[in-house]
Amino acid sequence: QLQLQESGSGLVKPSQTLSLTCTLSGGSISHGGYSWAWIRQSPGKGLEWLGSITHTGNTYYKSSLKSRVSISVDWSENQFSLTVTSVTGADTAVYYCAREGVVENWFDPWGPGISVTVSS
């Protein structure tokens, strides 16, 4: 059974770079039927898709965040990563990684999430 686990720094200073990694267990990141996504949820708010990376390494991002967000994949470690540059308090959120269906639209499963606070 596929499981995802986020890891990374839970505290980032304003203007610095947020970096998170999602590690898969029980499945391969190179599986052709899926993409891999990052989604966040600000305190008390709804869900916001940040971007996704396909099994071939193609990426697509939320248009309003495109200049600051980057997703990459490490095939050998079976993990994918998120970086968000020039962070502000608005980037404080719980960050989730998730598997994304390719043919049909869904996110499942999700990692448990990692809380990231932007503060000096």
Partner 1 sequence: EIVLTQSPGTLSLSPGERATLSCRASQSVSNSYLAWYQQKPGQTPRLLIYGASSRATGIPDRFSGSGSGTDFTLTISRLEPEDFAIYYCQQRTNWPPERAFGQGTKLEIK
Residues in contact with partner 1 by CB under 8 A are 37, 46-49, 52, 60, 62-63, 96, 100-101, 103-108, 110-113
Cis peptide preceding 109, ω within 30 of 0 = yes
Question: Given the complex with partner 1, which of 91 and 100 has the nearer CB atom?
Answer: 100
Question: Given the complex with partner 1, which of 32 and 46 has the nearer CB atom?
Answer: 46
Q: Is the dihedral of CA 90, 46, 2, 5 positive or negative?
A: positive
In the complex, minimum distance from the CB of residue 106 to partner 1, in angstroms, rounded to a whole number: 4
C-alpha distances (whole Å) from 105 to each of 16, 34, 62, 100, 108 are 33, 10, 16, 7, 10
Question: Given the complex with partner 1, which of 74 and 108 has the nearer CB atom?
Answer: 108
